[in-house]
Amino acid sequence: MPSFEKLYSMGHEQVTFFSDPSCGLKAIVCIHNTVLGPALGGTRLWNYKNEEEALEDALRLSRGMSYKAAISGLNLGGGKAVIIADPNNKSEELFRSYGRFIESLNGRYITAEDVNTTVQDMEYMFNETSHVVGVSKNNGGSGNPSPYTALGVFRGIEAACTKVFGNRSVKGKVVAIQGAGQVGRYLGKDLYEAGAKVIYTDINQTNIEQFREFVPNAQLVGPEEIYDVQCDIFSPNALGATINDNTINRLKCKIVAGGANNQLKEDRHGKILQEKKILYAPDYLINAGGLMNVSLEYEGWSDEKSTQMVNTIYDKTMEVFTLAERENIPVNKAADLKAEKRIEAMRKIKSNHLGHVDPRYPGAKRR
Ligand code: NAD
């Protein structure tokens, strides 16, 4: 169970457990930091081995969301939730019960899709709470965020190409995509249409077939083989921690840039990539397109607004590369510094007295 010592060290504000035996709901909501605004982050549904594992995942992911929102220039905090359940056993009542609990947080946490939760699940919650995004376009939402996540990753890859090859074009570049799911397949399509040669892998036959429809002529390799292929860009779009001690020496690329969260098993792997002269485009910076997309639901989403916002990931990535070079630090470290600096700066300006009514100070202005 979480100790206050752990929450202090990771910087979390709040951890809430929700339970409803009537539908088997076991949910944990972690709110990491709300300095910039309400905490926004998806709800992951997973058959966790135990509650400790579920909590650890929610703590780590919610912290990542604070950094993602901060570096993306969004006025949002970081949060994430997990539901402990079998993905084959989802139900309307589970999500409606969960939605009622989310409502009780009064907007401190806004939820969205994540692994094993869909637009349909968001719709169930939407019956019970307005603090949910990623609902369908018919309900005024923005629908599936994955094409926008993929577009952001594509812009991050272009920025990395500018840095490494002196030109943002991916034409003729060989890209090895690990994970042919939602993000992988849209990214593959964007790359293919821009003239890149795509190599890919997955462990799920249905997703392999869908990928083939999206990206004709792509070359399929085995899940282990992907680490050894000669390529310009290695793009992790499956699970986290795939850049680790076992894989890092096998990579034959000049760039690592993909949509998966937490690609580096440990921070030190960012330094190893730097030493190997492989440019890393930080995951939470270039995969923020989905977050940017759903964030627009509150002000009125449109494809045009979303695309414009997601396109800024190119410049944001270039800025982080420049900072890393100037400070001679690994790129993942530079991204963290930039995100932390923004949160700290906003914390300071928000500490100003806003003039609310306080009878002890008669001069205080009424708002
Ligand atoms: P997804 O479940 O649709 O796709 C993931 C794919 O990876 C699946 O096809 C799965 O079979 C495959 N996979 C799993 N293990 C593998 C392995 N060992 N080797 C090869 N393939 C493997 O998920 P997604 O929505 O495409 O998300 C992909 C990643 O991007 C995740 O890490 C997710 O957290 C992250 N992400 C997604 C979004 C989004 O908008 N969907 C936004 C930000 C970050």
Q: Is 75 within 8 Å of 3 (Cβ atoms)?
A: no
Ligand 1 binding pocket mutation candidate from 119, 202, 215, 306 (most atoms within 8 A of CB) = 202
pLDDT (tens digit per residue) in 83-126: 999 999 999 999 999 999 999 999 999 999 998 999 999 999 99
Helices (H) and strands (E) in the chain, counts: 13, 12
Average pLDDT along the chain: 94
pLDDT (tens digit per residue) in 310-362: 999 999 999 999 999 999 999 999 999 999 999 999 999 987 766 555 555 44
DSSP characters over 189-237: HHHHHTT-EEEEE-S-HHHHHHHHHHSTTPEE--TTGGGGSB-SEEEE-
DSSP category for residue 113: -
Whether 325 and 177 share a structural domain: yes
Q: Any residues with CB less than 8 A from the CB of 192 and at least 6 apart, and which?
A: 198, 215, 216, 217, 218
Is residue 292 very low, low, confident or very high in pLDDT (cuts 50, 70, 90)? very high
The CA-atom distances, in angstroms, between 154 and each of 74, 283, 308 are 20, 12, 14
Whether 211 and 331 share a structural domain: yes
Kind of pairing between the strands at 14-20 and 25-33: antiparallel
pLDDT (tens digit per residue) in 186-223: 999 999 999 999 999 999 999 999 999 999 999 999 99
Asked if pLDDT for residue 259 goes beyond 80, the answer is yes
Asked if pLDDT for residue 1 goes beyond 80, the answer is no
DSSP 3-state assignment of 59?
helix
Range of the domain at 98: 4-65+77-132
CATH of the domain at 14: 3.40.50.10860
Backbone dihedral angles phi then psi of residue 101, each to the nearest 5 degrees: -65, -40
Residue-level pLDDT at 342:
98
Whether 205 and 326 share a structural domain: yes
What separation in Å is there between the alpha carbon of 365 and the centre of ligand 1? 52
In a domain, 356, yes or no: no
Taking CB atoms and a 6 Å cutoff, what residues make up the pocket around ligand 1?
145-146, 149, 178-184, 201-204, 207, 223, 237-239, 259-261, 287, 290
Whether 97 and 235 share a structural domain: no
160 vs 314: CA distance, rounded Å = 9
Whether 161 and 271 share a structural domain: yes
Whether 101 and 52 share a structural domain: yes
Q: Is 131 within 8 Å of 111 (Cβ atoms)?
A: yes
In a domain, 85, yes or no: yes
CATH of the domain at 184: 3.40.50.720
CA 163 to the chain's CA centroid = 23
pTM for the structure as a whole: 0.93
Whether 35 and 177 share a structural domain: no
Length of the chain: 367
Nearest CA to ligand 1 atom 20: 202
Tell me how many domains the chain contains: 2
DSSP 3-state assignment of 102?
helix
